């Protein structure tokens, strides 16, 4: 990547595939970005860029690269594949670190418990945010990687109730489905996951509660 391409990229601002961090002196705070990109559609992490789009650069990029790479190796599981690139800023004699994280075929990935997290957690990318993956989202990620496995579902009473509700409403949550179908949450969860895997529904992760909509 060259300087003009970097400037054009930064000008877009943070989003589904792009995240900025000023530095990596506290790498544990950045790990969820790696995991979220790997669990979603991949993305690019720029170290040395401020949230206000100023390309500030790193005076000691070797240190930032070492700290972050070591943290990813220690606290991201399963291991995450990524590429590192550097861009030298001639006007300031600083550098930008570019981490490119592709979509993983081995998801879900987790950030293991560390100084920033009390327990293992998985994340997904939603717009410019990293959202903790729900049990349903984690199950969907786990099942999707089994390419040879085919999914099917039995169209029964609960599915009929669900699809009728979605015909009248734009979306539904796990709790709402369990309520209207008068079923426990485990059954509701398995049903929603299966309908996503069979491309009947689409899941929209959210920090409060995932939303499910017709495809």
Q: Are 44 and 63 in contact (CB under 8 A)?
A: no
Instruction: Flag whether 76 is in a domain.
Output: yes
* Cis check: omega of the bond before 11, within 30 degrees of 0: no
Same domain, 94 and 51: yes
pLDDT for 90 equals: 87
Residues 6+ apart with CB under 8 A from 50: 20, 22, 56
The residues with which 114 forms a beta bridge, in sequence order, are none
Question: Helix, strand or coil for residue 92?
Answer: coil
> The domain spanning residue 206 has which CATH number?
1.10.10.10
Q: What confidence score (pLDDT) does residue 148 get? A: 53
* Tens-binned pLDDT, residue by residue, of the chain (215 aa): 889 999 999 999 999 999 999 999 889 989 999 999 999 999 999 999 998 999 999 999 999 999 999 999 999 999 999 999 999 998 888 999 999 999 999 999 999 998 888 899 999 999 999 999 999 999 999 998 775 566 766 789 999 999 999 999 999 999 999 999 999 999 999 999 999 999 999 999 998 999 999 99
**Same structural domain, 63 and 168:** no
| R_g of the chain, CA atoms, integer Å | 20
Give backbone dihedrals phi and psi of 44, rounded to 5 degrees, phi first.
-125, 130
Please name the residue that has the structure tokens 């999914």. Answer: 151
| Residue 24 belongs to domain with CATH number | 3.30.950.30
Q: Specify if 137 maps to a domain.
A: no
C-beta atoms surrounding 67 within 10 Å: 17
* Total tally of structural domains belonging to the chain: 2
Instruction: Looking at the structure, tell me whether residues 170 and 66 fall in a common domain.
Output: no
Q: Do 121 and 172 reside in the same domain of the chain?
A: no
Name residue, tokens 């491309």. 199
CA 78, 107, 71 angle in degrees (round to 5)?
A: 35
17 and 123 both lie in a single domain: yes
User: Strand ranges (DSSP E) for 40-82?
Assistant: 43-47, 76-77
Query: Quick one: pLDDT at residue 179?
Result: 97
The answer to whether 9 and 44 are in contact (CB under 8 A) is yes
Domain identity same for 118 and 150: no
The answer as to whether 138 is a domain residue is no
Instruction: With beta carbons less than 8 A apart as the criterion, state whether 80 and 72 touch.
Output: yes
Contacting residues for 200 by C-beta, under 8 A, at least 6 apart: 153, 214, 215
* Furthest-apart CA atoms within the chain: distance in Å: 67
Q: Which domain holds residue 173?
A: 143-214
Q: Which of 112, 116, 130 is nearest to 38 (CA)?
A: 130
Please give the DSSP secondary-structure letter assigned to residue 38. Answer: H
Q: Please check whether residues 147 and 128 belong to one and the same domain.
A: no
């Amino acid at each position: 990547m060259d300087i003009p391409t970097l400037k054009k990229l930064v000008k877009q601002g943070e989003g589904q595939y792009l995240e900025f961090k000023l530095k990596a002196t506290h790498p544990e705070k950045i790990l969820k970005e790696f995991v979220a990109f790997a669990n979603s559609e991949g993305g690019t992490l720029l170290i040395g860029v401020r949230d206000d789009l100023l390309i500030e650069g790193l005076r000691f990029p070797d240190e930032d690269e070492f700290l972050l790479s070591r943290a990813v190796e220690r606290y991201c599981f399963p291991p995450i594949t990524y590429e590192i690139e550097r861009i030298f800023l001639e006007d300031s004699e600083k550098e930008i670190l570019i981490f490119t994280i592709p979509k993983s075929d081995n998801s879900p990935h987790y950030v293991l418990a560390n100084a920033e997290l009390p327990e293992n957690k998985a994340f997904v990318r939603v717009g410019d945010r990293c959202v903790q993956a729900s049990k349903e989202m984690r199950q969907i990620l786990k099942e999707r990687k089994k390419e040879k496995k085919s999914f099917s579902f039995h169209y029964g009473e609960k599915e009929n109730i669900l699809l009728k509700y979605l015909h009248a409403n734009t979306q539904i949550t796990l709790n709402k489905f369990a309520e209207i179908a008068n079923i426990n949450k485990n059954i509701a969860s398995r049903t929603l996951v299966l309908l996503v895997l069979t491309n009947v529904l689409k899941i929209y992760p959210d920090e409060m509660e995932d939303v499910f909509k017709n495809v």
